[in-house]
Amino acid sequence: MDSGTLASMLPFVAMFIVLYFFILRPQINRQKKEKAFQAEIKKGAKVITTSGIHGKIIEINANDNTITLETGAGKIKFERSAISMEMSKKYAAPATK
């Protein structure tokens, strides 16, 4: 390879490095955190699903990886991966003035 070929490849290599550090790596870290969160949710936690449904976990079924939420409309069964965030900790924090 001559120096012209290396010089023409340099922008593509630099673009891949920037893409990795600013897009791919943060996404991978978010996915790891989300999986860890979904694995540690407990019965009784108040959560929000990815579709925006608020509820309280009343049952966790490890066999088929589902949870049962108690909502205002009744009991609904969801996949564990459908849980977006936990609200128990947010509401349990003492109010500061």
Task: Tell me the pLDDT tens digit for each residue of 12-56.
Answer: 999 999 999 999 999 999 989 988 888 888 999 999 999 999 999
Q: What is the DSSP letter of 20?
A: I
Contact of 84 with 50, CB cutoff 8 Å: yes
Ranges of each domain in the chain: 1-40, 42-97
Sign of the dihedral defined by the CA atoms of residues 62, 87, 69, 80, in that order: negative
Q: Taking residues 5-9, what's their average pLDDT? A: 85
For residue 44, how far is the Cα from the chain centroid? 20
Q: How far is residue 68's CA from residue 10's CA, in Å, rounded to a whole number?
A: 53
Architecture field, domain 42-97:
Roll (2.30)
The pLDDT score that the predictor gives to residue 77 is 95
Of all helices (H) and strands (E), which one includes residue 3? helix 3-19
